[in-house]
Amino acid sequence: MDRQEKDNGKGSGKRVFSMRFVLASTFGALVALSVGIVLFMSVESNLNNTFSLLNERAESLISGMENEIRQETGRTELSVQTFASLYANGTLKNLEQADVDPVFRTILTTEPAVEALFLYKKDGTLLYLRRDPEDKIEPFSPNWFSSEAKASLVNQLTGDFNEPKWGQPIKIGPVLFNFVFLPLDRDGQNHGYIVAAVGRHVINRIIAQIGRSNFTTAFVLDANNNVIAYSADPELMRGRSDYPLADFPDKTLVDYLNAETTDQFVKASRSGITVKETGGRQGYVYITKTLAGASGNPYTLGAYFKKSDIGAEVFRAIRTFFAGVLALLVAVLVAFLLGRRISLPMAAIAKTARQLSAFDIDGLKPLPGSRIREINDQAEALNNVRRAMREFARYVPRPLVARLIRSGVDRIPTVEREITIMFSDIVGFTSLSEHMNAADTARILNNFFEMQCQEIEASKGTVDKFMGDGLMAFWGAPDADTEHPVHAVTTAVKITNAVKAFNEERRKSGSPSLRIRIGIHTGRVVVGNIGGGSRQNYTIVGDAVNLAQRLEQMGREFMDPDDDAIVLLSGETAKDAGDAFQVKPAGTRILRGREKPVMVYILDTGAAVMSEKVVAFPGSGKVS
C-alpha cells in the first residue's frame, strides 16, 4: 500500500466522514443534549413540584429587585465620589454656582437615579440643582425646598468620614428623598459637602420594570408597612412619598397583612426570602425579602401572583419544550447548510492537496478566497505552494519530483542502470544571435527549449540540464522504462520535425534557419543525487554520457549545409530501438577519450513514421 494512501486514512481500517456530516451531527447532538437537559429539568420540575418552580421564581424576582436597587444606590454613591475627586485633584477649581453647574448637569443627565444635587459650603451657602418629573434640570423652587428641609439636611452633614454616607430621609414637598453625602476636601482642609438625593419614584420605576418583565405584581413596603413602590399602577405613587398598606386600592396586596407563612420553600428561605399564601387553590402567593435601606431604614421587597398561574407556568414550559425541539431541528438544518458551505471549499482544498501530492500542477487552478479565515488561510497557503511548485518544476525534473512525492521517501537512492541519453545543440547559434537583439535571442532559445521539454516529458524522459544553447536528457530514470531507446529516438524525430516546420515559416519571412544536432546513446550509468552538502543534482554519471555528447558533436561531420537537423545513434541505441526507424550506417569511429570503436548510425528522420501529432514549435513564425 502506498504511504500517501495510508496517510490519507484510506485502506488503513479507519472510517472517514464528510465534514458536513460531522458538523451537522456534532452541533446537532450538542444542541439536542443541552436543550434536552434544560427542557427535561424544567418540565420535570414544573410537572412534579410546583413549589420548586416558586423557589426559582421567588429567588429570581427578589434578586432582580435587590440588584437593581443596589446598583442604583451604588451609582448614586459613585456620583458623589466623582464630584469629590474632581474637587480634590483641582479639576474643579472653585465651589461657585458657575463652576459646579456644568458638573451637576452632567451627573443629573447621566445618572437617572440622582434627582437632585446639593453643595453645602463651610460658609453656610447651599447650592443645588434638581431634575423635575419632566426631566428638566432647574433649581428647587421655594415651594418644594423649604427652610425646614434645608435645616434638616444641613444638620446631618457632620462627622469625620471619607466614604459616601447615607443620611435620614427628608420629605421635600410630597416626595420622601434619601441622601448620600461626602466631604469636599483639598490639601487636608474641608471646604464643604456634596450631597446627592434619590427620590422614591426611582424605586417605583425599578419595581414597575421588574413587574412588567416577569408578568407579576411587584411592590416595596417601608418599615411601617407603607407602600412606596407598586408595579401594577405606578401612577398611584406619583406625587406622594408613601401609601398606607391598609388603605391601598389593591385589595390583593392588602390581604398580604393576613397571609400565612408557609415552610415548604426551603431553598427560598435560605436566601432570606419569606413566602406567604392566602386562600386555597384560587388564592395568592406572596414572596418578600427584607432589605436594609440606604439610611438604615429597612424595606420589604415583594411580589405576588395567583396559585393558578403555576399551571400556566407548566403549560408554558411544555410550549417551551416544543419550541426547543423546533429550535433543535432548525439548528441541525443550519449546521447541515453551514457544513455544506464549509465542506465545499474544504473539498476543493482537499482535491488541490491531492493534486499537489501527485505533482499534478499543470491543470491546477488557483483556489478562491473565503470569508472564513481558516479556510481562506488554507486556500492562500495552497495557492502559494502551487506557485512555488510550478516554479520549482522549472529547475527540477518533474518525474523526479513526482516520484519523490508518491514514494514518500526523503530522497531517491543512487543506482546503476541502463538508460538512453540524448544531447542536442543548435548549430552556429552564436553567429545566428549576432544578427538579433538580446530579447529575440532569449525568446528563440526559450521557445526551442520549451518545445524540447514538452516532447521529452511527454515520452517519459527527464531533462537533466541546459548547457548554453544545448540540452541533455535521458530516459529510463527515475522511473523504470523498458522502451527507453524507442522513446528517446521517437522524441528526437518529433524535435527535428518541429524544427523543420519552424524553419519553413522563417524562410518565408527571409529569416535565417535554426539547425540542430542530436546524439543518442544507450548504456549503463550511475544515476541519482550527485553533489555535496545541501546542494545536489539528480543527474547521471558515466562513460555513456560522454559517448552521447561525442555523438552530438560528431554530427557536424555528417551534416550538410542544407540540412535542418541531424540525429546520430550509437549501435546500442539503433539495435534496441528496433525496426520502427530507418537508419543508415556511418561506419565505425574511435571517439576522443575511448579505446574501443563505436558503431555510428544516422537516423533517417524523414522516413520515420510517427503516429502521434508533432507538437508545434512555440513562437513559430513570430520571431525574426
**Mean pLDDT across 284-301:** 79
The residue that leads in pLDDT, 259 or 262, is 259
We report the CATH number of the domain holding residue 455 as: 3.30.70.1230
Do 567 and 461 lie in a common domain?
yes
Report the pLDDT value the prediction gives residue 252, as an integer from 0 to 100: 92
Convert the pLDDT of each residue in 123-177 to its tens digit. Answer: 888 888 888 777 788 887 666 678 888 888 888 888 778 899 988 888 877 777 8
Compute the C-alpha angle 454/459/460, nearest 5°.
100
Same domain for 246 and 103: yes
Please, which contacts does 60-64 make with residues 24 or more away whose CB atoms are closer than 8 Å? Answer: 60/214, 61/210, 61/214, 61/216, 61/218, 61/287, 61/303, 62/271, 62/273, 62/287, 62/288, 62/289, 62/301, 62/302, 62/303, 63/271, 64/210, 64/214
In a shared domain, residues 221 and 236: yes
Mean pLDDT of 273-282: 82
Of the three residues 339, 358, 390, the one that is the final residue of a domain is 390
Q: Residue 373's pLDDT is what?
A: 79
Nearest alpha-carbon partner for 312 in 62, 56, 53, 61: 53
Higher pLDDT, 453 or 35: 453
User: Using an 8 Å Cβ cutoff, are 552 and 519 in contact?
Assistant: yes
User: Residue 440: how many CB atoms within 10 A of its CB?
Assistant: 14
Q: pLDDT of 390-441, one tens digit each?
A: 766 666 666 666 665 655 555 667 889 999 999 999 988 777 777 778 888 8
Per-residue pLDDT at 599: 93
> At 37, is the secondary structure helix, strand, or coil?
helix
Give the number of C-alpha atoms closer than 13 A to the C-alpha of residue 371, restricted to the C-beta side.
2
Examine residue 261 and state whether it is found in any structural domain, yes or no: yes
pLDDT of residue 615: 42
Per DSSP, the three-state class of 590 is coil
Residues 426 and 565 occupy one common structural domain: yes
414/516: higher pLDDT = 516
Give me 4's grid cell: 500517501
pLDDT for res 36: 64
Residue 398 inside a domain? The answer is no
Rounded Cα distance, 66 and 206, in Å: 10
Q: How many whole angstroms separate alpha carbon 217 and alpha carbon 219?
A: 7
Q: What is the rounded CA–CA span in Å between residue 503 and residue 184?
A: 103
pLDDT in tens, 464-479: 898 888 999 999 988 8
- Residue that wins the pLDDT comparison between 481 and 613: 481
In a domain, 124, yes or no: yes
CATH number of the domain enclosing 225: 3.30.450.20
What DSSP element (H or E) covers 287? Answer: strand 284-291
At 82, is the secondary structure helix, strand, or coil? helix
Mean pLDDT of the chain: 79
Within a domain: residue 502?
yes
The CA distance from 512 to 468, in Å, is 20
**pLDDT of 362:** 66
Q: How far is CA 146 from the centre of its chain?
A: 64
Give how many domains the chain has, as a whole number.
3
| Residue 194: pLDDT over 90 | yes
- Is a pLDDT exceeding 60 seen at residue 486? yes
- The pLDDT, as a whole number, for residue 51 is 58
What 3-state class would DSSP assign to 296? coil
Of 1-5, 185-189, 506-510, where does mean pLDDT reach its minimum? 1-5
In a domain, 6, yes or no: no
Pair (55, 139) in one structural domain:
yes
pLDDT band at 610 (very low <50, low <70, confident <90, very high): very low
- Based on the domain organization, do 290 and 331 belong to the same domain? no
Contacts 24+ apart (CB under 8 A), 509-512: 509/621, 509/624, 511/623, 511/624, 512/432, 512/435
Q: Are residues 89 and 60 in the same domain?
A: yes
More confident residue, 247 or 352: 247
Report the C-alpha gap between 602 and 570 in whole angstroms: 9
For the chain, the 3-state helix, strand and coil shares in percent, each to the nearest 5, are: 45, 25, 30
pLDDT at 420: 96
Give the domain extent around 259.
Answer: 49-307
Identify the top-confidence range among 67-76, 211-220, 281-290, 465-474. Answer: 465-474
Residue type at 496 in one-letter notation:
T
N-term to C-term CA, the chain: 54
Q: Are residues 178 and 59 in the same domain?
A: yes
Full-model pTM: 0.44
- Would you tell me the crossing angle of helices 309-357 and 50-88 to the nearest 10 degrees? 70
617 assigned to some structural domain: no
Q: Is the pLDDT of residue 622 over 50?
A: no
pLDDT confidence band for 68 (50 / 70 / 90): confident
pLDDT digits (tens, 9 = 90+) for 528-545: 887 776 667 788 999 999
Residue 194 lies in a domain: yes
Give, in order, the Cα–Cα distances in Å from 272 to each of 79, 177, 291.
Answer: 30, 27, 10
> What percent of the chain has pLDDT above 90?
24
Give yes or no: residues 271 and 355 share one domain.
no
pLDDT class of 335 with cuts at 50, 70, 90: low
Residues 89 and 235 in one domain: yes
Instruction: Please give the average per-residue pLDDT across 558-585, as a whole number.
Output: 89
Residues 166 and 289 in one domain: yes
Q: Given a cut of 60, is residue 4 above it in pLDDT?
A: no
pLDDT higher for 178 or 89?
89
More confident residue, 193 or 238: 193
Please give the Cα distance from 590 to 616 (Å, whole number): 37
Residue 309 has pLDDT above 70, yes or no: no
Closest by CA position to 84, among listed 103, 110, 106, 108: 103
Task: Look at residue 615 and tell me if it is in a domain.
Answer: no
Q: What 3-state DSSP class applies to 363? A: coil
Q: Give the pLDDT of residue 28.
A: 64
- Same domain (yes/no): 182, 270: yes
pLDDT for 13? 52
Residues 264-270, mean pLDDT to the nearest whole number: 72
Structure confidence at residue 512 (pLDDT): 77
The three-state DSSP-derived secondary structure of 123-137 is CCCEEEEEECCCCCE
Peptide bond connecting 164 to the previous residue in cis, omega within 30 degrees of 0: no
57-71, 513-527, 594-608: which has the highest mean pLDDT?
513-527
Cell of 173: 414637598
Determine the length of the chain: 624
